[in-house]
Amino acid sequence: MRLFAGALIAALMSGDALGQTPDTFTCGTFKAETWRTSSASGPLTHWTVARGSEKTTEQGFLRIAPRFECLDKALILEVIFAAGNGTLSIYFPDGTDLTYGRQQIDRRNGRYVLPLQAKGRISPAFRAAFDYHCRLDMPMDPIPAAARADCLF
């Protein structure tokens, strides 16, 4: 009985039970934080991205903690949900944000490969930081034939 009581007290005092001190990540003008809390369904992960006075907070049941990366002062956030799907979000200093499903993004030779349609939405100062693919050709967002020369595949 004492062993059970000791284990229960240790669990209640753990970071998952009471919440954790946020882990922080900075990239240029961005500050990102992540922390976990407990819920009836298991550990719930929260993350916040702040750019100046603008701040977004989200939460979800994740397979692993959110992964943050800094790329030429742009903040990249990868989230993998417990169900296996996920997103990759890119926050640019000029206020532009892009989010794609993980299945729409590749990583080759240490570089992110985005759908070609993203190129026009990215400031020219950041376009060279990414490579592009032409797999995501949709009727509402077609890829012009002349633009296909910029595609890796």
User: pLDDT of 99-138, one tens digit each?
Assistant: 999 999 999 999 999 999 899 899 999 999 999 998 876 7
Which H or E run includes 125? helix 124-127
Alpha helices in the chain, H assignment, sequence order:
2-13, 15-18, 116-119, 124-127
pLDDT digits (tens, 9 = 90+) for 46-99: 999 999 899 999 999 999 999 999 998 999 999 999 999 999 999 999 999 999
Q: What is the pLDDT of residue 8?
A: 37
Q: What is the pLDDT of residue 44?
A: 94
Type of residue at 9: I
Phi then psi for residue 83, to 5 deg, are -75, -10
Q: What is the pTM of this model?
A: 0.79
Phi then psi for residue 79, to 5 deg, are -125, 130
Q: What is the pLDDT of residue 108?
A: 93
Q: Is the pLDDT assigned to residue 18 strictly greater than 90?
A: no
